[in-house]
């Protein structure tokens, strides 16, 4: 007998559901009250997913509207990421000032 053809629609919906699940895990990791902002490596470690997948999902349209690059970097030079809501709530006045007046804004395309 011939091998059964896989239904591409079911694969797409399965991938979409998986992406949504990963997006929710990323938002949960970013909402961890221990941190103002997280590195991509920290998020990947917490949700037990590869760093490249976390970067890919952060660049997606869904998360792009909810996440923000923190205006400062981590001690090791890594880019820090937070949600827009948490930035508004927890960021110091200095960080908000830097965010408003910085001429060298980082974007999600700078995340590696």
CATH code at position 98 = 1.10.10
Residue 1 placed within a domain: no
Tokens standing for residue 40: 């991509």
What is the pTM assigned to this prediction?
A: 0.74
Q: Which domain holds residue 79?
A: 34-104
CB-count exposure of residue 107 (10 Å: 0-12, 13-18, 19+): exposed
Q: How far is CA 53 from CA 21, 50, 82, in A?
A: 12, 5, 17
Task: With H, G, I as helix, E, B as strand and everything else as coil, classify residue 59.
Answer: coil
Q: How many domains does the structure of the chain reveal? A: 1
pLDDT tens by residue, the chain, 112 residues: 555 555 444 344 446 668 788 999 999 999 988 988 999 999 999 999 999 999 999 988 888 889 988 888 889 988 899 999 999 998 889 999 988 887 666 666 667 6
Q: How would you label 46-76 residue by residue, b for 16+ Cβ within 10 Å and e otherwise?
A: bbebebeebbebbeeeebeeebbbbbbeeee
């Amino acid at each position: 007998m011939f091998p059964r053809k896989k239904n591409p629609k079911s694969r797409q919906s399965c991938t979409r559901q998986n992406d949504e699940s990963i997006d929710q895990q990323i938002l949960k990791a970013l909402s961890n009250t221990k941190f103002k902002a997280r590195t991509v490596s920290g998020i990947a470690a917490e949700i037990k997913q590869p760093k490249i997948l976390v970067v890919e999902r952060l660049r997606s349209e869904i998360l792009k509207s909810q996440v923000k690059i923190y205006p400062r970097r981590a001690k090791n030079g890594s880019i820090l990421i937070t949600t827009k809501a948490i930035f508004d709530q927890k960021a110091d006045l200095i960080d908000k000032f830097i965010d408003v007046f910085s001429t060298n804004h980082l974007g999600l395309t700078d995340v590696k």
